[in-house]
Amino acid sequence: TTKMIPRQKYYVVFEGRSRGIYNSWEQCQPLVYRYKGALFRSFHTYEAAQYHMNEYLHNKYGVQFCRPLDIVDVNATEEKDVMKTNGRIYIPLFWI
């Protein structure tokens, strides 16, 4: 039998304890578990996740989500503010 290689998933938390794009369910689940009105979804590519986050924020607030950065933002002071994926560092530029 052929073994299936699990595909990377990215989890978008639209509404939860902290909005963002996360690269594992273990990161996403505590942000939405027992959170009234939680809204989240998984995607197979980071680009799709970012597109849907942008659409959601644009439709709700008229703003855009962050773009990927190669350097650490000086405003990201806590480890939880920084997400490392495939050797790149992503930092939310704002929280709503």
Instruction: Output the pTM of the full model.
Output: 0.62
pLDDT for 5 equals: 77
pLDDT for 64 equals: 64
Q: What is the DSSP string of the chain?
A: -PPPPPPP-EEEEEESSS-EEESSHHHHHHHHTT-TT-EEEEESSHHHHHHHHHHHHHHHHS--PPPPBSS--TT--SGGG-EEETTEEE--S---
Domains of the chain in start order, with CATH, are 10-90 (3.40.970.10)
pLDDT tens digits along 36-95 = 999 999 999 999 999 999 999 888 887 765 555 443 444 444 444 445 444 444 444 444
